[in-house]
Amino acid sequence: MTGDPTRPLHAPRAAAAGGPGLFITFEGGDGAGKTTQASLLEDWVRTRGRNVVRTREPGGTELGLRIREIVLHHRGHIDPRAEALLYAADRAHHIATSVRPAVARGDVVIQDRYLDSSVAYQGAGRVLDANDVRALSLWATDGLLPDLTVLLDLDPAAARRRLDAADKPFDRLEAEKEEFHARVREGFLSLAADEPGRFLVLDARAAPEELAARVRNAVAERLG
């Protein structure tokens, strides 16, 4: 065996999809409006004559749906490292079997959540080392980064009001305290500051149509 076995996982490669297609992700706290914006973008990209694959993590595959059930609804404690590995397992399978083939075909993949969610929730939220969590996801996906990541930024108190108004039972992550969600928010903002070329950061309090227009502009530049 070569290498130092005590070294953490390292990810030598990290690159945008680089195929004929595009890989676009939506990120942000629970209640920020990602799903609404992903749907509006999907409609618009279709009007441009491009094939769209709309997907999400966790749960973009049949295997992923089973993992989603565990991470969101398991009763009782899940160790933070186990939680990070479950999200990474979902991601590895999803990217290899669905996202990479779609980008290679020339499709536009529009995805709710990706590796930045792991760095924000398991890294900042659960207080695992952010570099390790990112490296784990990059290993899981053989280094795939999105061409564009839209971060819908919302303060946790406003997000909680939206979730309360939706009147649905909270999942394991949504049920976390406001301090947890405040760390997640800071985690996302710090990721966006590190990679300004990949991220479009939007104030999620703006009107949905205004946000959609900003997203369309960013995507239009990349669609060519």
Rounded Cα distance, 148 and 219, in Å: 8
Residue 30 within binding range of ligand TMP, rule CB under 6 A: yes
Helix (H, G, I), strand (E, B) or coil at 154: coil
Rounded Cα distance, 32 and 126, in Å: 20
Residues in binding contact with ligand TMP, number by CB under 6 A = 14
Residue 118 within binding range of ligand TMP, rule CB under 6 A: yes
Helix (H, G, I), strand (E, B) or coil at 196: coil
Binding segment toward ligand TMP, per CB under 6 A, in 10-18, 42-50, 112-120, 150-158: 112-120
Of 178 and 213, nearer to ligand TMP (C-beta) is: 178
Residue 56 within binding range of ligand TMP, rule CB under 6 A: yes
Instruction: Give me the 71-100 binding string for ligand TMP, x by CB under 6 A, dash otherwise.
Output: -x--------------x-------------
DSSP string, 72-83: HH-SS---HHHH
Rounded Cα distance, 42 and 102, in Å: 15
Query: Contact residues for ligand TMP (CB under 6 A)?
Result: 30, 56-58, 72, 87, 112-113, 117-118, 121-122, 173-174
